[in-house]
Chains A and B, each alone.
Chain A
Amino acid sequence: MNTVSKSEKRDREPRVLIIIPAFNEAASLPQLVPRIRELCPRYDTAIINDASTDDTLRVAHALPARVISLPCNLGIGGAMQTGFCIARDESYDIAVQVDGDGQHPADQLHLLIQGLQQSGCDIVIGSRFLNGGEFQSTVARRLGIRIFSLWLSAICHTRITDATSGFRALNRRAIELFSRSYAEDYPEVEAIVVAHRAGLRICEVPVAMSARVQGVSSIGGLRSVGYMVKVSLAILMCSIRRRQIAS
């Protein structure tokens, strides 16, 4: 009797919430969200509009996704944490972070979810550099990513090749932790340290990312120096802070 009814199969499928924080992403959302819907019709999608000043809110409401609009700008961390709160409150099994700028291809989502289910880890990071992957970027940027990846690998005692990747899948333990504690600005690197100190297991899967569809990165020029300083300080502060306990 190996026959399993469709409803039983559906019952066993994890409930997945795809969280898309969006600040002024009116141009890229209409390409990203329908593509996710097309490839992953069973997953729920939540767009977190971070008080955008362009047409993002109106565009988002026309897309097949839930739209949560923050009344004031909280930054990428605050917006993402709003998504984690939804995932926690509505008992989603898995949350997937996807940037609203179109860098994270919808056709790679299943790699993260499969990685999470098969590895037994609490967080799976989509890495651009694992297994010799390449990503077109400036030398300074790649150097920064390399430095943080080596640093985090040493802290977490596990190989991390893409510490700044925001393309991640989280299970319930990680969702619960990040819904309580998540950095406001440039949270990706700090989140790994917080998760490691809380006893969560982290691993990576190789993914291919594309260049931004629209807009410019918030990190460039002098800002990249500020980014390096801020994130370095955040890692140091994280290491001396009282550790969060994962449920």
Chain B
Amino acid sequence: MQTYGHSVVFTTTLVVFLFVLWLVRRHSIGERFAGLWLLISVSLLIASSVGYRYLFLIAGLVGVPYAPSALFFLAIAGLTLLIIELFAWVSKLNDRTRVLTQQLALLRERFDREQTAGRVR
């Protein structure tokens, strides 16, 4: 049963890893996030293949009596960090979009004025 469960986890993380690779190959995921997701998927792969043996050991070392709780804590902490990173990135993109929108409007107004004055055809 343990071997079967292990195989399921390993296969799932392998699928995640291959999916990330496929996204990177297709340029569907930008360079900024490609490296991050490759790192995450490789870490998951390693953790699901050999790392699970050390889960109880690590949980014991940090004083968590129930090992799966430590795993959930790590997963939630990792995802929270990822969400914060995405929020920061969205804020930056929002700033860039605002500047581009303003510049586009200003350039268009200048172009219209020049066109009216007959300097641009």
Q: Of B98, B106, B108, B109, which contacts A74 at CB under 8 A?
A: B98
Contact B98 A69 (CB under 8 A): no
- Pairwise interchain contact A68-B98, C-beta atoms closer than 8 A: no
- A82-B105 Cα distance, complex, nearest whole Å: 9
Q: Is the Cβ of B105 less than 8 Å from the Cβ of A70?
A: yes
Is A203 an interface residue, CB under 8 A from the partner?
A: no
* Residue tally, chain A, CB below 8 Å to B: 16
Which chain A residues lie closer than 8 Å to B108 at the CB level? 69
Complex: how many Å from CA A69 to CA B98?
13
B46 interfacial by beta-carbon distance below 8 Å: no
Report if B101 contacts A (CB, 8 A).
yes
Interface range, B side: under 10
Any chain B CB within 8 A of the CB of A71? yes
- Minimum CB–CB distance for B37 against chain A, Å: 30
Docked CA distance A82–B104 (Å): 10
Interface residue B11 (Cβ < 8 Å from any Cβ of A) = no
**When chains A and B are docked, how far (Å) is the Cα of A78 from the Cα of B98?**
7
Q: Which residues of A contact B98 (CB under 8 A)?
A: 74, 78, 81, 184
The contact string, 1 if C-beta is below 8 Å from chain A, for chain B 80-119, is 0000000000000000001001101110110000000000
Complex contacts, A86 vs chain B, CB 8 Å: 106
Q: Can you name the residue of chain B whose Cβ is closest to the Cβ of A70?
A: B105
Among A66, A67, A78, which residue has its beta carbon within 8 angstroms of that of B102?
A: A78
A72→B109 contact, CB < 8 A: no
Number of A-B contacts (CB under 8 A): 32
> Contact flags (1/0) for B8-22 with A, using CB distance below 8 Å?
000000000000000
Contact B101 A78 (CB under 8 A): yes
By beta carbon, the residue of chain B nearest A179 is: B102
Residues of A near B101 (CB, < 8 A) are 70-72, 74, 78
Nearest A residue to B112 by beta-carbon distance?
Answer: A67
Proximity string of chain A (173-184) to chain B, C-beta cutoff 8 Å, 1 when within and 0 when not: 000000000001
A106 at the interface (CB under 8 A from B): no
Q: Would you list which residues of chain A between 40 and 76 have a CB under 8 Å from chain B?
A: 48, 66-72, 74
| Closest B residue by C-beta to A73 | B101
Shortest B53–chain A CB gap in Å is 45
The CA of A69 and the CA of B106, in the complex, are separated in Å by 8
A66, B109: Cβ atoms closer than 8 Å: yes
Within 8 A of A (CB), among B66-91: none
Q: Give residues in B with beta carbon < 8 Å to A.
A: 98, 101-102, 104-106, 108-109
Q: Which 10 A-B pairs have the closest CB atoms?
A: A82-B102, A70-B105, A68-B109, A68-B105, A78-B98, A70-B101, A74-B98, A72-B101, A69-B105, A71-B104
Q: 16 other contacts beyond A71-B105, A78-B102, A82-B105, with CB at 8 A cut-off?
A: A67-B109, A68-B105, A69-B105, A69-B108, A69-B109, A71-B104, A72-B101, A74-B98, A74-B101, A78-B98, A81-B98, A81-B102, A82-B106, A85-B102, A86-B106, A184-B98
